[in-house]
DNA sequence: ATAATAGGCAACCAAATAGTTGCATGTCAA
DNA sequence: TTGACATGCAACTATTTGGTTGCCTATTAT
C-alpha cells in the first residue's frame, strides 16, 4: 500500500498512468514521446510503477509493452478513501463548528 | 492535487490523519503521544498536511487544535480514482490477453 | 510572580529522489 | 551481416525529504 501511495505521489508517474489509460500496451519509446525527460528517467519511473504493481510489462521481441493494472488504484479507493467518506459530514460539521467558535 | 498526493505519500502523515479520524480536534501534543518521533517532526508533517488542505487548525489559547478536512481525499476519489475504475475490466481483460500471448 | 506547559523557529544532517550522461546488449530489417 | 533501433545498466549529481537538536515565545496554573 505504501509503495502505491509513493508511486502515485509523482506527477510524471501519474501522467504515465494517464498515458496508459488513454492507450494501453505502449512501448517504452512510445511512452517517452513528448515528455521533457530522458528515456532513462522514464524507465526509472516505470520501474517504480511496476514495483507498486500499477503497471505490468510483457517483452515482445525487442519491445517492452506496458499495461496498466488498475487493481491497486481501486484498492486505495476501497480500503483507504472510503474510510474517510464515512463520517465525512460529521467531520465537516465539527470543523465548521470549531472555526465559528474562533470569536468567542 | 499534487500537494495532496505528496502529503498522502508518507506513512507517518497517513497515520496522523488516521489519528484525527479516530478523534478529531486533537492538539499537537496529543497527536505526538506514542509516536517514535520528536514534536518538531510531527509539526513538520502537520504543516504539509495543512498546506495540502487535509488538516485545518484552530488556535485555542496556548493549544492548537487540529481538524481533519476530508474534502481533498474525497476529491481524489472522485476526480482521479473513478477515472481508472471506468474501463477497469477492459484494461484487465487486455492485460490477461497479452500475458497469455507470451508463448506464441 | 513564576514555574510548567504548549507550541514555534532555525540550523543542521543523512538518506532518498529525480534526473543526467555514457556505454553495453539484444533484436530486427535491408 | 551489418546498421539501426529498443532497451538495459551504472555512475554521478543536485535537490528534496524526514528527521534531529537547541533555543525562544506565549499562555496557563499555583
Averaged pLDDT score across all residues of chain B? 90
* Rounded distance between C-alpha atoms, residue B56 and residue B47, angstroms: 10
> At residue B30, does pLDDT exceed 60?
yes
Q: Identify the band that residue B65 occupies on the pLDDT scale cut at 50, 70 and 90.
A: very high
Q: How far is B77 from chain A (nearest CA, A)?
A: 6
Would you give the DSSP letter of residue B60? E
Over residues B42-49, mean pLDDT: 98
A98 touching B (Cβ < 8 Å) = yes
Q: Identify the band that residue B90 occupies on the pLDDT scale cut at 50, 70 and 90.
A: confident
* Rounded distance between C-alpha atoms, residue B70 and residue B17, angstroms: 10
In percent, how much of chain A has pLDDT > 90?
A: 81
- Best residue in A19, A25, A79, A95 for a mutation probing chain B (most B CBs within 10 Å): A95
> At residue A77, does pLDDT exceed 60?
yes
Q: Which of A75, A66, A85 has the alpha carbon at shortest distance from A5?
A: A75
H helix intervals, A27-103: 28-32, 39-51, 71-75, 82-85, 88-100
| Cell triple for A87 | 463520517
pLDDT, residue B18, reads: 97
Torsion, Cα B84 B89 B93 B95, to 10 degrees, reads 20
Over residues B30-49, mean pLDDT: 97
Q: Strand, coil or helix: what is A37?
A: coil
Contact call for residues B66 and B27 (beta carbons, < 8 A): yes
* Rounded distance between C-alpha atoms, residue A97 and residue B24, angstroms: 12
A21 and B65 within 8 Å at the Cβ level: the answer is: no
Q: Identify the band that residue A58 occupies on the pLDDT scale cut at 50, 70 and 90.
A: very high
For chain A, the 3-state helix, strand and coil shares in percent, each to the nearest 5, are: 65, 15, 20
Interacting residues of B99 by C-beta distance below 8 A, sequence separation 6+: A56, A58
Nucleotides of C under 7 A from a protein CB: 5-11, 17-22, 26-28
> At residue A103, does pLDDT exceed 50?
no
B67 and A94 within 8 Å at the Cβ level: the answer is: yes
pTM over 0.85: yes
Amino acid at each position: 500500500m505504501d509503495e502505491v501511495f509513493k508511486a502515485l505521489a509523482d506527477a510524471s508517474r501519474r501522467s504515465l498512468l494517464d498515458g496508459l489509460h488513454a492507450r494501453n500496451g505502449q512501448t517504452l519509446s512510445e511512452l517517452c514521446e513528448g515528455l521533457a525527460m530522458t528515456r532513462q528517467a522514464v524507465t526509472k519511473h516505470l520501474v517504480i510503477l511496476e514495483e507498486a504493481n500499477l503497471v505490468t510489462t510483457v517483452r515482445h521481441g525487442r519491445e517492452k509493452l506496458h499495461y496498466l493494472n488498475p487493481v491497486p488504484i481501486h484498492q486505495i479507493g476501497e480500503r483507504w478513501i472510503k474510510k474517510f467518506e464515512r463520517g465525512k459530514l460529521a467531520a465537516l460539521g465539527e470543523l465548521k463548528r470549531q472555526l465559528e467558535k474562533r470569536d468567542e
